[in-house]
Amino acid sequence: MVLIMLAAVEALPPAYHRVVNLFHFEGYTCQQIGKALGISHYAAKWRLHEARRRLRVGLEPEFDAETA
């Protein structure tokens, strides 16, 4: 399951992929992500939110198949 999740993160568009990696794997805050990427921390939060939404939608069939 971890490999499926990592593959899903890798498949995200670059803007979302970077934010997810920085937040979840590198431990950056949204403010630090904003500074690193040259965007506002609000934009970083929105990208993280959108990335999570895309992951949830994309992985839903995988999790439904496992619970069936």
Each domain of the chain, given as residue ranges in start order, spans 15-67
- Residue 13: Cβ within 10 Å count: 11
Would you state the structure tokens that stand for residue 10, as one six-digit string? 């890798």
Predicted confidence at residue 41, as pLDDT, reads 97
In the chain, what percentage of residues exceed pLDDT 70?
94
* DSSP secondary structure letter of residue 26: S
The per-residue pLDDT of the chain, averaged, comes to 92
Closest CA to 55 of 7, 15, 18: 7
> Binning pLDDT at 50, 70 and 90, where does residue 15 land?
very high
What is the CATH architecture assignment of 15-67? Answer: Orthogonal Bundle (1.10)
Convert the pLDDT of each residue in 36-66 to its tens digit.
Answer: 999 999 999 999 999 999 999 999 887 776 6
Closest CA to 37 of 63, 17, 57: 17
Q: How many residues does the chain have?
A: 68
Task: Indicate the pTM of the whole model.
Answer: 0.86
